[in-house]
Amino acid sequence: MPIFDFVKTIELMACSFHGIPDPRYRFVTDAKIIVKEVIRKLDCNHSPFANHMKPMENTVSSVRQIDIDMPLAFETFLPICLPFALSSSFNKDERSVQLKKAGFEHPFFFGNVVNAKTMNFLLQSDLELAVKEISTVEGKWGSVYELKYSALSCNNIPFAHQIVAEERGNNGMMIHFDFILALEFDGAVMPLPAYYKVPLTYKWMAFGLVSVGDHYDGSNWAVLLPRWQSDTVSIRLRCHGMLQLLYRMLYTQRCYCFAVPLLVKFSFFMTTSDWGDGYKTMSVAELLITTLGNFCELIVAYKVGDAVSNRRSSKSLREQQVCCKGIFAMLTKSFQLNAIRVRFIEKLFQFDLSALTETNVAGNMQLCQAGVNEQELDLELELEEDKQREEQTSVCRERQITI
């Protein structure tokens, strides 16, 4: 079985990957119709969010089993520009900010402070009511979508929001709107402190911190510097293809708890936050491995119902996280050796490498020229697979004791 140059193979796969075969304009156009209907219903219900939901169009993604697609300028956050001036108080150590306005009453405030907990609970109730009243939306080409709303919560406090529009019929396509609520500011109007080292023209965001333990304070907002403001089209194309490959891999390996548009995009956001502008020079393979590594450290805690359901859900999450760690270890080793077996990569991504043109294969995949022999590669991968099996066995034993 041939061995390919790992970095160049992943790069070529991302460049040639087209995602869902349906025309891109279809789900983008229908997404705009759904957003307009949600805004209309929020306005009818006198929601304070009605005038802030237009950016929801950029949070859309289209999912059909193994395939995912999204706009090139995809977003993880729903930025809200407040129509009034605020005073700010920054915390350098925690990289957070409090936003205040004395003697001012507004649904987004708790006391004199803009409160993330208050806003997220309000958005949850408003979207839940609006989606329930809308129920179904008809797309431009006759497709009928059934709408559902849910929220991802930490310690029973909403952190992320999701609207899913499922197409009726046998197509099985679902349009996702997954986002985290954030406030957007213009650096020229509300400048960041000098230690952030950004120009005044830079726009920045603030989003609510995740509730951890008993120390949650809804008045504290995490400062976010969106690194993709200066992205070129070529960089966005590479990141777009990488996310499609990552989702495809997670779904193929049955890591369904993590093959979720929101978590895929949020893990990529964590990569851009950790690496800063340096992520723009990373190869697709390095981006993929780094973003997958964030899944290994990600803790997703939420309530799904009774205690038995919660234990079952927690068990699935932890088992799939062990699987992600095993894949991460094997891909990291392949990156270090810059070598990958064709059979391994085809099974991992359910991707037919023969579909790539012979010219690209010959020009971009260097067969057995990565400075590693087949025996060394086999040994390294077998060791990682054995380690993964041991971790899975350990987790299963722990489950039996706990449950």
Return per-residue pLDDT of the chain as tens, 403 residues.
Answer: 578 888 988 988 888 765 445 555 678 899 999 999 999 999 999 999 999 999 999 999 999 888 899 988 889 999 999 988 899 999 999 899 999 998 888 999 998 999 999 999 999 999 999 999 999 999 988 889 999 999 988 778 898 999 999 998 867 789 999 999 999 999 888 999 999 888 777 889 999 877 555 667 888 999 988 765 567 888 888 899 999 999 999 999 988 888 899 999 989 988 988 888 889 899 999 999 999 988 776 654 444 445 555 556 667 777 887 888 888 888 999 899 898 888 888 888 888 877 665 445 444 444 434 444 454 455 445 545 555 555 554 444 333 322 2
d(CA 363, CA 6): 13
Collapsed DSSP state (helix, strand, coil) of residue 299: coil
pLDDT at 395: 43
Cβ contacts of residue 340 below 8 Å, gap of 6+?
3, 4, 5, 6, 9, 334
- Confirm if 208 and 117 have CB atoms less than 8 A apart: yes
pLDDT at 34: 97
pLDDT at 4: 84
Sign, Cα dihedral of 4, 5, 11, 16: negative
Instruction: Read off the tokens for 51.
Output: 């005038």
Strands 203-208, 221-224: pairing is: antiparallel
- Helix ranges, 192-299 (H): 233-252, 261-275, 284-297
pLDDT at 153: 84
Scanning the structure block, which residue is given the tokens 């502008």? 277
Q: Which residues pair with 79 in a beta bridge?
A: 182
Fold type of domain 20-225: Beta Polymerase; domain 2 (3.30.460)
Sequence length of the chain is 403
- In 3D space, the residue among 289, 256, 231, 247 whose CA is nearest the CA of residue 10 turns out to be 289
pLDDT at 324: 84
pLDDT at 53: 96
pLDDT at 379: 46
219: which DSSP letter?
T
Q: Which residues pair with 402 in a beta bridge?
A: none
d(CA 308, CA 317): 14
d(CA 327, CA 131): 38
Q: What is the pTM of this model?
A: 0.81
pLDDT at 193: 92
CB atoms within 10 A of CB 306: 9
pLDDT at 23: 54
Domain borders along the chain are: 1-17+229-403, 20-225
